[in-house]
Amino acid sequence: MARTFFATMAVALLLSGCSKDPMLVSGQDVFTKYCATCHQQDGKGISGAFPSLYDSEWVSGDKGRLIRLVLRGMQGPIVVKGETYNNVMTPHSFLTDEQVASVLTFVRQEFDNDADKVEAGEVAVVRASLTSDELYIASELENLLGIPSLEIPE
């Protein structure tokens, strides 16, 4: 079903003369629906409340940490680009792996960020590794890095 959606989006974009990656188009749509309320449509956030996504080490840094942040959310003080925030990021575990991958790819390639794509398979692996649905504490999440490796039991 996701392939059909992306194929349809690609054809529509080609016919309209736009060559934007369908994953970025989908990601922008997810961002508008679920992220822009706090981080604002322009990604600049709200000073003192919700951090900017521009040139952000949290966005362009470790993919595993960013995926965990989106899936489980976070609370507690966090410093982004020298400014302290102490609000709650709500969990978005209701999003599909494809939606999480597309929105994270969008923010990692927009707002003065230049980071590689997030794949739906990476989201699935991180999601499967989560043992709780409680919000992360910001200081706890800072050190949870990487995509877990899939170890196949013998």
114-139 pLDDT tens trace: 999 999 999 999 999 999 999 999 98
Indicate the residue type of 53.
L
Q: For residue 136, what are the β-bridge partners?
A: 74
What does pTM read for this prediction? 0.82
Q: For residue 89, what are the β-bridge partners?
A: 74
| Residue extents of the structural domains in the chain | 2-141
**Sequence-ordered list of residues with C-beta below 8 angstroms from that of 74, at least 6 positions apart, any chain:** 88, 89, 135, 136, 137, 138, 141
Topology of domain 2-141, CATH: Cytochrome Bc1 Complex; Chain D, domain 2 (1.10.760)
71-97 pLDDT tens trace: 999 999 998 888 999 999 999 999 999
